[in-house]
Amino acid sequence: MIITIDGPAGAGKSTVARMLADRLGFEFLDTGAMYRAVAWACVDRRIDLNDADAVSETVAEISIQFESERIVCNGRDVTTEIRSAEASHAASIVAAVPAVRLEMVRLQRESAAGHDYVTEGRDQGSEVFPDSECKFFLTADPKERAARRLLELQSRGQSGSMEEVLAQIIDRDERDRSRDIGPLIKADDAIEVDTSRKAIEQVVEYLEQTSRERLAISASKS
């Protein structure tokens, strides 16, 4: 079974998805890391991120592998590099290029085929796995999302101010929501969960309970 978790930056998707996958014994797919890896490959080649043809050529040759907690792109461990504020910005630009989305969606479907997966991103329930029987859409107040991102950056020894991070989050939300293909959107059948002022444990608890109910329904049908 595929469980999809979508939502804007800083809504808590990665942490929650990882914990949920752990509790259910499912695999976990961080699709944002894939778009970040594409952006890294473009920057590494010194490509203009707004040159869609050059970005498309880069993604045609890309190799992305997840090795437990690490992500390896074109043979290089980019786990830390892809988490900077610059990488976030670059990822949201390349994510609007149609060839990039086509290839990432293909890779996501290919890796999930025949597996139990918790997958998180922007378009997982709406576009990539529309038949998923268990979809969540996480939201949170932009100021709270910015505060979480700031803490995350600081925990990695990176700097930034609250104003800067909030502006970046609003800018990225806008780009993610307004692109033509695979925009950030809640699937009609996704359950919306507002994580503002909620402890992670409380959110995961709710998602786990709902997922187990859906799993039971799905098992009784087959």
Helix (H, G, I), strand (E, B) or coil at 199: coil
Find where tokens 């107040």 sit.
Answer: 141
Instruction: Provide, rounded to whole angstroms, the least separation between the CB of residue 41 and ligand DC.
Output: 14
Residue 163, C-beta contacts closer than 8 angstroms, at least 6 positions apart: none
CA dist 150 and 10 (Å) reads 10
Instruction: Provide, rounded to whole angstroms, the least separation between the CB of residue 118 and ligand DC.
Output: 13
On the CB side of 123, how many CA atoms lie within 13 Å of its CA? Answer: 21
By CB under 6 A, tell whether 32 contacts ligand DC: yes
By CB under 6 A, tell whether 7 contacts ligand DC: no
Separate counts of helices (H) and strands (E) for the chain = 8, 8
Write each residue from 160 to 199 as x if it is in contact with ligand DC (CB under 6 A), else as -, in one continuous string: ------------x---x-----------------------
By CB under 6 A, tell whether 8 contacts ligand DC: no
Write each residue from 49 to 68 as x if it is in contact with ligand DC (CB under 6 A), else as -, in one continuous string: --------------------
Specify whether the CB–CB gap between 150 and 160 falls below 8 A. yes
Applying CB under 6 A, the span of 59-67, 90-98, 150-158, 205-213 interacting with ligand DC comes to 90-98
Sheet holding 117-121, edge to edge: 27-30, 117-121, 2-6, 134-139, 191-194
By CB under 6 A, tell whether 103 contacts ligand DC: no
For ligand DC, the closer CB: 24 or 176: 176
Handedness of CA 134, 14, 175, 45 (dihedral sign): negative
By CB under 6 A, tell whether 92 contacts ligand DC: yes
Applying CB under 6 A, the span of 21-29, 30-38, 130-138, 202-210 interacting with ligand DC comes to 30-38
By CB under 6 A, tell whether 150 contacts ligand DC: no
By CB under 6 A, tell whether 149 contacts ligand DC: no
Applying CB under 6 A, the span of 17-25, 118-126, 140-148, 156-164 interacting with ligand DC comes to 118-126
Specify whether the CB–CB gap between 129 and 2 falls below 8 A. yes
On the CB side of 91, how many CA atoms lie within 13 Å of its CA? Answer: 24
Which residues are at the interface with ligand DC (CB under 6 A)?
A: 9, 31-32, 35-36, 88, 91-92, 95, 121-124, 172, 176
